[in-house]
Amino acid sequence: MSREAYQIPTAQGSGGAPGGGGGVGGVGGGLSRAFDAEGATMNYICGDCGFKFALRRSDTIRCKECGCRILYKERTKRMVQFEAR
């Protein structure tokens, strides 16, 4: 399958319906609104002490336990599948 023919799957069910907003523009608009919300948080793990916590976009990039500035994003729980050639 070529890169141009790939359709991003949606959570609404019928992924291949024409006019269903399955293209990049429809999905990208929804994602940007979700991340632009001020209450949206992302989970991080401290690189020094291993403490897990959530940060908002406006928070300072610092561990709340030890003050370390090396943070790692927590791995997603969603299944990620790649096609190897």
pLDDT in tens, 18-48: 544 444 444 444 455 445 556 789 999 999 9
Q: Do 27 and 67 fall within a single domain?
A: no
3-state class percentages of the chain: helix first, strand second, coil last, to nearest 5 = 15, 15, 70
pTM: 0.50
Question: Which range marks the domain in which residue 74 is found?
Answer: 40-85
Q: Do 47 and 21 fall within a single domain?
A: no
The domain tally of the chain equals 2
Q: Do 2 and 29 fall within a single domain?
A: yes
- In whole angstroms, give the CA distance from residue 13 to residue 71: 36
Q: Do 48 and 82 fall within a single domain?
A: yes
Q: Which residues, 6+ apart, have CB-to-CB distance to 48 below 8 Å?
A: 63, 66, 68, 70
pLDDT of residue 5: 76
* Site of tokens 């561990």: 63
Query: Which CATH number does the domain housing residue 56 bear?
Result: 2.20.28.30
pLDDT of residue 37: 54
pLDDT of residue 38: 62
Residue 14, pLDDT above cutoff 70:
no
